[in-house]
């Protein structure tokens, strides 16, 4: 099933790239493996998947230990400051930075490991009050402050679009995130490069690619429905 699902996702990515004049290699597929057992990730690994996304620190750290070291791990979920230390040296990219205080902790932990942490700023484009992320009007100020941290590299923006029946409804959200990144790029802030756009999930990644996504986060479309009944929260 995994193999067929991956094939279907690849076909849809190819179609969305083709219809928007984009290249397949400019879109990174992140396989969102949260709640799935290590054996399932291993199966995906054996099919060639090397980029996995997780949203819980403990789960990411456990899977990191259990799986081959050439995997690229992405932290896509809300991150608590006291847990940054458990993943700072394990992840390629943190997608969910939305406050100066969190950035400050990431900077401090990165220094301890003598590394520079790659991050995206999570923007609550849809202004849903259930969501994390900085509001669009606060984005400039936040990026300006974060740009002063020596062990952080801002690489782009991320958003979680609302759940909608028709993916087309989220087109404006993706378009807005891309425009925000163009605005920031035009300011040429030192230490800040906003070329990455992490947007689009199983229900709407086709539209997100058409609107410029460089990273799509696909869980259900690859691994099937998630079962939360036995997962500790």
Ligand X SMILES: *Cc1c(COP(=O)(O)O)cnc(C)c1O
Q: Out of 34, 56, 74, 178, point to the residue binding ligand X (CB under 6 A).
A: 34
Stretch that binds ligand X, among 36-44, 66-74, 128-136, 213-221 (CB under 6 A): 213-221
Q: Out of 160, 161, 192, 196, point to the residue binding ligand X (CB under 6 A).
A: 160
Q: Out of 6, 9, 29, 32, point to the residue binding ligand X (CB under 6 A).
A: 32
Q: Out of 110, 117, 201, 213, point to the residue binding ligand X (CB under 6 A).
A: 201
> What is the DSSP code string of the chain?
-HHHHHHHHHHHHHHHHHHTT--GGGSEEEEE-TT--HHHHHHHHHTT--EEEES-HHHHHHHHHHS-TTPEEEE-S---GGGHHHHTTT-SEEEEE--HHHHHHHHHHHHHTT--EEEEEEB-TT--TTS-SB-GGGHHHHHHHHTT-TTEEEEEEE--PPP-SSGGGGHHHHHHHHHHHHHHHTT--TTEEEEEEE---TTTHHHHHHTT-SEEEESHHHH-S---TT---
Q: Within positions 77 to 106, which residues make up the interface with ligand X, using CB under 6 A? A: 77
Stretch that binds ligand X, among 1-9, 126-134, 135-143, 195-203 (CB under 6 A): 195-203
Contact status: 74 vs ligand X (CB under 6 A): no
Closest distance to ligand X from the beta carbon of 226 (Å)? 7
Closest distance to ligand X from the beta carbon of 223 (Å)? 8
Contact status: 219 vs ligand X (CB under 6 A): yes
Q: Which residues bind ligand X (CB under 6 A)?
A: 32, 34, 55, 76-77, 160, 201-203, 217-221
């Amino acid at each position: 099933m995994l193999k067929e699902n991956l094939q279907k996702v690849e076909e849809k990515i190819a179609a969305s790239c083709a219809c928007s004049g984009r290249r397949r290699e400019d879109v990174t597929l992140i396989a969102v493996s949260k709640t799935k057992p290590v054996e399932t990730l291993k199966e995906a690994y054996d099919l060639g998947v090397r980029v996995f996304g997780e949203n819980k620190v403990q789960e990411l750290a456990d899977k990191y230990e259990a799986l081959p070291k050439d995997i690229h791990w992405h932290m896509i979920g809300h991150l608590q400051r006291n847990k940054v230390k458990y993943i700072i040296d394990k992840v390629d990219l943190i997608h969910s930075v939305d406050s100066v205080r969190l950035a400050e902790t990431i900077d401090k932990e990165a220094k301890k490991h003598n590394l520079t942490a790659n991050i995206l700023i999570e923007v609550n484009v849809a202004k849903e009050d259930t969501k994390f992320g900085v509001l669009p009007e606060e984005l400039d100020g936040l990026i300006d402050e974060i740009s002063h941290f020596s062990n952080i590299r801002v690489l782009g923006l991320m958003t979680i679009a609302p759940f909608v029946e028709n993916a087309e409804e989220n087109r404006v959200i993706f378009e807005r995130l891309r425009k925000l990144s163009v605005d920031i790029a035009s300011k040429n802030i030192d230490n800040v490069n906003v070329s990455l756009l992490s947007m689009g999930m199983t229900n709407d990644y086709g539209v997100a690619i058409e609107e410029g996504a460089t990273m799509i986060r696909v869980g259900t479309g690859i691994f099937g429905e998630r079962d939360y009944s036995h997962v500790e929260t």
